[in-house]
Amino acid sequence: MATSGGQSRVDWRSWRSWPGFLAASWRSSLQFRTVTITVVLSGIAIVLVGAYTSASVGNDLFQSRLGQVLLDSNRATASAQGILDSSDAIDRVQVQALQDSASSAISTASSSSMIALFRVPGQDPSTVAPQDFSKFGDSTGAISLDLQAAVQEHGGDQYWQSVTFQDDDGSEYPGVIVGSQLRLPVAGRYELYIGYSLRDAESTLSFLQQTLLISGLALILLIGAVTWIVVRFVVTPIRVAAETSQKLASGDLEVRIPEKGEDVIATLARSFNGMADSLQSQIKELAELSEVQQRFVSDVSHELRTPLTTIRLAGDVLFDQRAVFPPAAGRTAELLHTQVERFELLLADLLEISRYDAGSVSLDPEPTNLVHLAEDVIDGMRSLGESKGIDLRLVAPGGHLNAEVDPRRIRRVLQNLIGNAIEHGEGKPVVVSVDSNQNSVAIAVRDYGLGMSQTEVTHVFDRFWRADPSRQRTIGGTGLGLAISREDASAHGGWLQVWSSPGEGSCFRLTVPRRAGDAVTASPLPLPPDDIGGPHV
Ligand code: ADP
């Protein structure tokens, strides 16, 4: 099902079946593969672009907010310093009031309530110096030592630090702390820290990220859907072409691909149909030719029957009187007799095989005990076996050995197999085994004679094929015996198989279904036989 898009059924509720289903879809559906690859690749591209956009917008937002914060804090510090410088406070209360008004000026100018003032350490103790104070609440710890050290050391400059503030409710948010120095009259230098929240920038960024995420997902879905539709347009005609060629390959020569339009698919359809047309006509021609040949063989065989019968009768007369002929003429009469006999056999086989070719063979199945049938055949051939010094044995372990077969044909198969085994058995025993299982019955004919090579085995059922044409033949086969036997086996819906090895003999196994019309799925007898190396019995 390479291109038909046929995917195995899946139970969507059981997620365990998903991986298998997806793997099967990946293998079997071009459409699924294309859509998956497109979605994954465009997904990666969208994630990269989204991450870059989000990072650069985040950075830009931070930088612009930082610039604003630094400007604000600079302005606030300057205005506070102005207030401090223009004051002539000298005692503790005045300095404290001055510090209060400076810090509220900072608060107003910087629009931030997070302010901290710490007296720079290392100055002479002062009795008028106001107390350090911090309005950072829980976030006072956010002012790092590094920032403090920088502010303490370089009084005139502005320093900043990126931090995370904590709300009263414990929630965290990003911010910036800017540090600088203030000079209080009489009291000395103070570190000033102003905290700015970056909540706005953060929420702008997260809104942007959310928008990017949603639009990215929507884009991926859209790309998937569009690819699905586009690939469908392309794949559907290819699938039709694939299905059609499958049907054509399985013998349905009438199928064609619908030809629509002028595009490349239409060209494919036209060339495919052209190919199918020429294939069909050539096959038709060959079939006709083969039919003519079959009819010819059948006609010739029929035509030869009558003259042959006459020759046979005349030959029999001569054969019966051969004793009165001069020796040379007597031998000729004998020769004529045996050759006419062979001719008759050959003609009978030819007629039989041409009946198979014409499809006019019908079975006459009847319940038959195959052990009895095998016994019968063996008894009939025992004297032939003995003439060659061959012992014919029957092994039938029992069980249900009845089957619905055409006994005449099975008998013929057995006669042929046993005849061959005697012919090529080199005087060693020939074992006929019969066994059965639930659905089928098998008969194996095993000899321990010459055997055949692998190449010979592949030709053994070919018509008129003989392993070694120069071999001495005593039974006078026609070379059609096994071809007919195989046709007999398949007419029963069964098998005729062979195992053979040079020097180790051969084993022919016939397996037929018990009930006419059934098919054979397994044979009750082993092949290769389990007695390679010598007979067990
Ligand atoms: P025939 O026996 O009339 O020649 P078959 O179709 O029965 O024709 O057999 C074809 C050939 O297969 C035989 O000529 C022989 O060479 C080979 N063959 C068949 N049975 C055996 C066997 N049991 N051992 C060795 N060779 C065999």
Q: How far away, in angstroms, is 464 Cα from ligand 1 center?
A: 10
- With beta carbons less than 8 A apart as the criterion, state whether 222 and 210 touch: no
The reply to whether ligand 1 has any atom less than 6 angstroms from the CB of 477 is yes
Q: Which residue has the higher pLDDT, 478 or 35?
A: 35
| Helix, strand, coil percentages in the chain from 3-state DSSP, rounded to 5 | 55, 15, 30
Q: How far away, in angstroms, is 338 Cα from ligand 1 center?
A: 20
Q: 411-447, pLDDT tens digit by residue?
A: 999 999 999 999 999 999 999 999 988 889 999 999 9
Does the pLDDT value for residue 24 go beyond 70? Answer: yes
Backbone angles phi, psi at 470, to 5 degrees: -85, -5
Does the pLDDT value for residue 375 go beyond 80? Answer: yes
pLDDT (0 to 100) of residue 4:
39
Please tell me the distance from the alpha carbon of residue 67 to that of residue 55, in angstroms, as a whole number.
Answer: 18
Q: 384-401, pLDDT tens digit by residue?
A: 999 999 999 999 887 657
pLDDT classification of 1: cutoffs 50, 70, 90: very low
Q: 482-492, pLDDT tens digit by residue?
A: 999 999 999 99
Average pLDDT of every residue of the chain: 88
Please tell me the residue having the least CA distance from ligand 1 atom 13: 466
Q: Which of 9, 14, 39, 41 has the alpha carbon at shortest distance from 24?
A: 9
pLDDT (0 to 100) of residue 428:
92
The residue ranges of every structural domain in the chain are: 17-252, 265-356, 363-513
pLDDT (0 to 100) of residue 2:
35
The token pair at 351 is 């007629």
pLDDT (0 to 100) of residue 5:
40
User: pTM of the entire structure?
Assistant: 0.57
The predicted model gives 49-63 an average pLDDT of 94
HSE, side-chain direction, 13 A CA sphere, residue 413:
34
Please tell me the residue having the least CA distance from ligand 1 atom 3: 477
- The H or E element that residue 430 is part of is strand 430-436
Report the percentage of the chain scoring pLDDT > 70. Answer: 95
Q: 312-331, pLDDT tens digit by residue?
A: 999 999 999 999 999 999 99
Q: 512-536, pLDDT tens digit by residue?
A: 999 888 888 899 999 898 877 655 5
Identity of the highest mean pLDDT range in 66-70, 99-103, 156-160: 66-70
User: Could you confirm whether domain 363-513 is CATH 1.20.1280.260?
Assistant: no
The reply to whether ligand 1 has any atom less than 6 angstroms from the CB of 445 is no
- Convert 515-525 to b/e letters by CB count within 10 Å (16 or more is b): ebebebeebbb
The atom of ligand 1 lying closest to the CA of 482 is 6
Report the percentage of the chain scoring pLDDT > 90. Answer: 51
pLDDT (0 to 100) of residue 10:
61
pLDDT (0 to 100) of residue 475:
55
Domains 17-252 and 265-356 share a fold: no
pLDDT (0 to 100) of residue 15:
79
Task: Tell me which architecture the domain covering 17-252 has in CATH.
Answer: 2-Layer Sandwich (3.30)
The reply to whether ligand 1 has any atom less than 6 angstroms from the CB of 460 is yes
Q: For residue 189, what are the β-bridge partners?
A: 183
- With beta carbons less than 8 A apart as the criterion, state whether 484 and 403 touch: no
What residues contact residue 172 under an 8 Å CB cut-off, 6+ apart? Answer: 164, 165, 166
Q: Which of 184, 186, 176 has the alpha carbon at shortest distance from 103?
A: 184
- Burial, 287: exposed, middle or buried (Cβ in 10 Å; 0-12, 13-18, 19+)? exposed
Q: How far away, in angstroms, is 205 Cα from ligand 1 center?
A: 89
Please tell me the residue having the least CA distance from ligand 1 atom 7: 481
Please tell me the residue having the least CA distance from ligand 1 atom 4: 479
Q: Which range has the worst mean pLDDT, 3-7, 49-53, 300-304?
A: 3-7
The reply to whether ligand 1 has any atom less than 6 angstroms from the CB of 418 is no
Identity of the highest mean pLDDT range in 88-92, 103-107, 532-536: 103-107
Does the pLDDT value for residue 408 go beyond 60? Answer: yes
Q: How far away, in angstroms, is 526 Cα from ligand 1 center?
A: 21
Q: How far away, in angstroms, is 417 Cα from ligand 1 center?
A: 8
Q: How far away, in angstroms, is 335 Cα from ligand 1 center?
A: 23
Q: How far away, in angstroms, is 498 Cα from ligand 1 center?
A: 11
pLDDT classification of 473: cutoffs 50, 70, 90: low
pLDDT classification of 180: cutoffs 50, 70, 90: very high
Q: Which CATH number fits domain 265-356: 3.40.630.10, 1.10.287.130, 1.10.1240.10, 1.20.200.10?
A: 1.10.287.130
pLDDT (0 to 100) of residue 497:
95
Q: 225-275, pLDDT tens digit by residue?
A: 999 999 988 888 888 888 999 999 898 989 999 888 888 888 988 999 999
- The H or E element that residue 304 is part of is helix 264-320
Pocket-testing residue among 384, 466, 510, ligand 1, by greatest number of atoms within 8 A of Cβ = 466
The predicted model gives 101-130 an average pLDDT of 86
Pocket-testing residue among 349, 420, 454, ligand 1, by greatest number of atoms within 8 A of Cβ = 420
pLDDT classification of 470: cutoffs 50, 70, 90: low
pLDDT (0 to 100) of residue 87:
83
pLDDT (0 to 100) of residue 474:
55
pLDDT (0 to 100) of residue 274:
94
Q: Which residue has the higher pLDDT, 167 or 377?
A: 377
Please tell me the residue having the least CA distance from ligand 1 atom 11: 466
